[in-house]
Amino acid sequence: MSLTVLPVTAMTAETGAGGPQGEARAWPQRLAALSGWRRLGLAAVCGGLASLAMPPLYLLPLLVPAFVGAFWLLDGARTGRQAALTGWAFGTGHFAVGLYWVGHAFLVDAERFGFAMPFAVGGLAAGLALFPALAFWITARSRLTGPARVVCFATAWLLGEGLRSWVLTGFPWNLMGSVWAFSSETIQLTALGGVWLLSLITVTAATAPALLAGRPGRRHRIRGFVAVALLLPALSWGYGAWRLAGAPAAGTAMVEEVRLRLVQPSIPQALKWRRDLRAEHVRTQMRMSLAPGFENRTHIIWAETAIPYLLSAEPVLQRELTAVVPPGGFLIAGAPRVEPDKPEGRIWNSLYALDDSGRIAATFDKVHLVPFGEYTPLRDLLGLAKLTAGSRDFSPGPGLQTIDLPGLPAFSPLICYEIIFPGKVTAPTAQGRAKGGAEGGAEGDRAAPRWLLNVTNDAWFGDSSGPYQHFASARMRAVEEGIPLIRVANNGISAVVDSYGRILDQINLNDRGIIDTELPEAATGRTIYSHAGNWLYLVELFLSTCVIFVLRRFV
């Protein structure tokens, strides 16, 4: 026999009209019976509650009423269309609250773009809400009940997150597993199955208590399932604690002869591209780079577009910057790039490595561009300009790459939100890790990255949740890949994160400062996720589907 939800009248007859137990069991029917704007409004409120579990608040207990309420609303959906609308309302509330900070970017130049802020936030939320709508529709169409329905819902949610990470170049921001980014122990599970596995566990655990208000039949099995579902996050924490117990103590495994200086100048976005201030911005970062201790540094790293000039077309500036390049080392910094012989041609958002002679030793062009921020989709049709400085759209780079510079372990450069894409933060041709940082040492392993470098400029989003959410995603990638992360942001959060996701040092949001650090070593063995990548996502979808069929038959 499968668990089914009784109509309000049937439940009243079975449990009695009075008493707290009867009242508790009546709640699912009350929510399920809602219609019209009340149903959609409550679904949006539930979605907003769920977003409060995201960084930086991490109000995890709110996930339970959010997903339980949404699940009860879903139970009352009479058609697939009504279920999809309920899911769309949930998603709209979830993304509107979780991504409100996107609106800050439109206020940097409020005179030109301020009018678009509500349309941008609302439109983004409504568009992304189509993926939760799909999850609700699949669950309703499955006609499953009880534990099988809960796992079906979690699996459909995971499917929606995967599609959201891929469709129209993808936007995997605030995946549900990110709610655990505050816990170094719990996020260790991503080394096994990526953030996807944490998302699946989280939605299952948050939704399962909805079954406790069902009818009394097979209560012991229902309670057992709910207990197991709620235990899953605790087991994840236990695995993480065990993994960290076998890891080197934080800050002890460092690369010899690599001494970095990270520079966070905290330049306000409204001032960053002013022609009368650009030279002073560069001088400020040069002074910070040359602060006491510079003589002991081997590499200096600046943030995304830290140099507000077309550096490849500025040979004089290249020579001037050698003043902050340590002997035999490099200045690694972000700047726009053009072809020197075609300054009016295509333009890229790039990362440069400049040696002590002023020569550009390596460049990387950003691959994942931000719509309306770095380019305008359908520009001729919409008649809109991009938010960033300049009239030209940026061009995407050819793809991810591994940069191998003398005296520095090979690294994977990532500009801005390129760090948020699970399984897509290293070049696809990389097969392993450098000989000193992994088991084995095949010839093909030597080109693989031993660390991630993420340069970014989150000043667009002010003192909001956005930069904290961005940093949380970046930490996840370090654990998934089993390699450390060096993160340099214009206004924060700049940080040194080891290959287990532990923060060794950081500069807080909107602070100005430097970090002098050694480079953490990569983990001694590759993670399962770094081997299999997003194939594990498909494996998790398949296995959770198998669980649904087992639960359907036996629970």
347 to each of 235, 251, 357, 381, 418, how far by Cα in Å?
49, 39, 25, 22, 18
Label the pairing between strands 342-355 and 360-365: antiparallel
H or E stretch covering 546: helix 535-554
Which residues have C-beta within 8 Å of that of residue 315, sequence separation ≥ 6? 358
121 to each of 41, 103, 157, 463, how far by Cα in Å?
18, 6, 22, 17
Tokens 């960053």 belong to residue: 272
Q: Would you say how long the chain is, in residues?
A: 555
Residue 514 has phi, psi (to 5 degrees) of: -130, 155
502 to each of 5, 113, 190, 497, how far by Cα in Å?
45, 39, 14, 5
Q: Residue 180, Cβ neighbours under 10 Å: how many? A: 28
Nearest to 478 by CA among 458, 503, 457, 456: 503
- Residues marked as catalytic: 304, 366, 416
CB 354 within 8 A of CB 326: no
Local structure of residue 371 (DSSP, 8 states): B
Alpha-carbon 371 to chain mean position = 17
229 to each of 150, 186, 207, 241, how far by Cα in Å?
10, 15, 9, 20
Alpha-carbon 411 to chain mean position = 20
CB 264 within 8 A of CB 495: no
187 to each of 176, 391, 467, 539, 554, how far by Cα in Å?
12, 41, 19, 19, 32
Dihedral sign, Cα of residue 199, residue 195, residue 47, residue 370? negative
CB 526 within 8 A of CB 439: yes
CA–CA separation, 295 and 308 (whole Å): 26
CA–CA separation, 318 and 322 (whole Å): 7
Nearest to 331 by CA among 365, 358, 366: 358
CA–CA separation, 191 and 479 (whole Å): 6
Q: Which amino acid type is present at position 297?
A: R
Alpha helices in 411-534, H assignment, sequence order:
466-481, 528-532
Local structure of residue 268 (DSSP, 8 states): -
Nearest-Å Rg of the Cα atoms of the chain is 25
